[in-house]
Chains A and B, each alone.
Chain A
Amino acid sequence: MSTTRKLIEALRERLGQADPLPSPPAIPRIQAPPARVFPTARTRSCYAEQAAAHTAAILGIGHVGTRYATDVVLQFQAELAVAHDAVHTVLPDDWAQSQGLLPLKSRVEDHHQFLLRPDLGRRLDEESLERLRGNAIQDVDIQPILADGLSAVATMGSGIRLLETFSNECRFRGWTVGTPMCAKYARVWLQDEIGETVGARVACILLGERPGLGTGDGLSAYMVYEPRMGKTDSDRNMISNIHARGIVPELAGRQLAMMAGAMLDQKTSGVSLDLSGLTAELGQAASGGYREPQRRVRLVETDR
């Protein structure tokens, strides 16, 4: 036998070649770990309780080993599912008409393309352009546009209420308001082509915003003075976080009308629009755009 072979044999001997493999260890009594749950007002730890007064971050949730408790996993998965569901919901083709809105569509062909080609979502397809020219009131002060954006769930949820509140607030102020319309597969900049086509002084697109964890129902509104293609983000003003737990549609509609008034007065929009006179009324919208913290709600309840 070669030396190597002998060494391998000796090694196998040392590893217990002749012994049977060990049997499984004795079974102990298994105890359920202490309850660790996603912190609700009723169940949260002292740290979670104190933190909740200052932040919506999920804190004070404890751990099992280095991982999450089961209840935390379920809450997290529910929040993630809500966000993904909002992104993947497609606005039904007949929804706009069923709501009495002029139906429009961007150059995007399907939802997958919508996510990958923002450029196509910023232009109207030929048919919609014809429909807009033929059916929409021209030369209006304000053109509101409802659209799906990144959450058709939000559009179908509180979109109509926001559209109506905003339009009524504008009429109440004596401005002419354009034909109510709804655009599918729309990005923010689509308001430029629509507004330019109908000759609006101000265009305002109301669309589903990119969902965050647990929030798939938020709308954002972007407004631009003298809409025309070639306008950039710095020409726009916006209000975000419009939903039942954030800025409610009724309040947002009123704030948007005030913003439109500032644009009509100052004949400009975006970074050069001075909203300092409206700080009290507009709140965070006047200061340029961060979101209010969302309030977290427990999403999973099981019947026992």
Chain B
Amino acid sequence: MKQKSISLITIVVLFAVAAVMPAVLKQYHLNMLTEIIIFALYAVSYNLLLGYAGLLSFGHASFFGLAAFATAVSIINIPGLSIWNVILISVAVTTLAGFALGGLLLRHKGAYFALLTLAFNSILFAIATKWHSVTGGDDGLSITRPDLSLGFTTIPLASLTNFYYLTLVVLGLAIIFCWYFTKTAMGQTVLLMRENEDRMKFLGYNTNISRLILFTFSGAVAGLAGIFYTFHFQFVSISAISGDMSTTVLLIAFVGGTKKFWGPILGAFVYIILQNYLSDVTDRWPLVMGMIFVLMVLFVPGGLSDVITNLWHKFFGKKDDKDGKLTTAEEVRP
């Protein structure tokens, strides 16, 4: 079980490095890192659809935004609600939404499915814009992060460092669970369906239900990211549920690479950092992102993670690579 111990070491090292970050980074950069973790989870959830199941969605912000709003609305309307209950309510809302939307949309495949996700995202965006009394419409909603109650003690989350640690632990664990999920019976079923759906049916798998479960799960995870998005900014506006937010996650996942589990995480780093620095240099930065995206579609369909893996192969040879942390346990394809 060499592979297993390598993945375990990788995880422990990554957590350890992340844990010392508050001591190393300035506030500004710690803020950025928190945002990266949030978008990493969002992109990982998206890649469960795109990379694993081959489902192209242009409406993933439906879930991200729904949870972001559910969080703000529940905090504002139910005074004294604990942070765990906020998370519980919001995840429940997105899970239900994922189940309902999935039931309606998954009857279609390919381009048709992609188009419908876009359309339903637009409906939700329109509702969020128009339903001013609840969502605040164009003005958005401001909240204060509730404190973290652990039973024996209460930790104030007003401090960025504390919030960073909460984000790291909760979302980090969620990412690890997603990774584990890809190895489980369900995760493998979804993966094999993309490869040969017909055969899966003839082996007794109900492929429609599998897709629905995956879609719901992916939506719920995106929701968790959405919750922390609201916590992080202590504000939510309609942009959280907009088509742009759906495009963003597509860009992140694709640029990072959809064929590896860690691709979208890498994508989140690249995207958020580029966003922060490019937007200082040029206000045409979405154009730059778009160009990068199209060039990658044309020439590097495997994204950055593929480039890195190939370089690794080149410099360290195939044999070493077998033990390298980059390509072993995290390969999407079994």
Is B a genuine binding partner of A? no
Chain A residues at the B interface, C-beta cutoff of 8 Å: none
